[in-house]
Amino acid sequence: MLVLVAVVSIGIMRSFGKDTIYSTYDNINESMIVAGDPGGCWVASELFGGWYEPKTVAARYYVNNMAPLWFKDLYLAHGEKFAQTLHKHPMLKPLVRPLFEHFAEQGAKLIEKTS
């Protein structure tokens, strides 16, 4: 299901001719994680190389604060297992990475605004 969402999002981004420009993530760190935050970002952690990587933190912030509720619920229910699948089958990562790069970019923008 998440792969389908990623593929559709890639198509939408390409159809609008959007070249993703990634902002710097220097000001994002593990302190941005709210204590007791119910959300996780297992897929971002798998894609970006760790739980406290700045892009993972930014993507987690996006999923918990900006993503549609249906996506957040779906992600919380299946994200951890999907991350395990990505770990076992790394050739799937390029299909999902653009979606989570977008989440990280949007999360970073929100963090910058609230800092």
* Domain residue ranges of the chain, discontinuous segments joined by +: 39-115
- Asked if 71 contacts 39 with a C-beta cutoff of 8 angstroms, the reply is no
- pLDDT tens by residue, 16-48: 334 333 344 555 555 554 433 546 789 999 999
CA angle at residue 37 from 104 to 3, to 5 degrees? 45
AA letter at 4:
L
Residue 5's closest CA among 81, 67, 96? 96
Element spanning 83, H or E: helix 69-88
For 54-99, what is each residue's pLDDT tens digit? 999 999 999 998 999 999 999 999 999 999 999 999 999 999 999 9
Going by the DSSP 8-state scheme, the letter that residue 78 receives in this structure is H
Radius of gyration of the chain (CA): 13
What's the whole-model pTM score?
0.68
| Rounded CA separation 12/86 (Å) | 23
The rounded distance, in Å, linking the Cα atoms of 45 and 41 is: 6
